Amino acid sequence: MTSTIRVTVWNEYRHERKNPEVAKHYPEGMHSVIAAALKQAGIEARTATLDEPEHGLTQDVLDTTDVLIWWGHMAHGEVQDEVVERVYQRVLDGMGLIVLHSGHFSKIFRKLMGTTCDLKWREGNDHERIWVVAPGHPITEGLGEYFEIEREEMYGEHFDVPAPETLVFISWFSGGEVFRSGACYTRGRGKIFYFRPGHETFPTYHRPEVQRVIINAVRWAAPTPAPARVFGNVQPLEPEK
**Is 6 or 189 the residue whose CB approaches a second copy more closely?**
189
Largest CA distance in the chain: 74
Q: Cβ atoms within 10 A of the Cβ of 178, count?
A: 14
**Is 100 or 119 the residue whose CB approaches a second copy more closely?**
119
Rounded Cα–Cα distance for residues 86 and 223 (Å): 17
**Is 77 or 230 the residue whose CB approaches a second copy more closely?**
230
Question: Nearest approach, Cβ of 14 to a second copy (angstroms)?
Answer: 20
Sign of CA dihedral 205, 12, 170, 108: negative
7: number of CA atoms within 13 Å, CB side?
33
Question: Nearest approach, Cβ of 138 to a second copy (angstroms)?
Answer: 5
**Is 51 or 165 the residue whose CB approaches a second copy more closely?**
165
Question: Nearest approach, Cβ of 139 to a second copy (angstroms)?
Answer: 9
At position 167, the amino acid (one-letter code) is: L
Torsion of the alpha carbons at 156, 157, 160 and 163, rounded to the nearest 10: 120
Question: Nearest approach, Cβ of 195 to a second copy (angstroms)?
Answer: 16
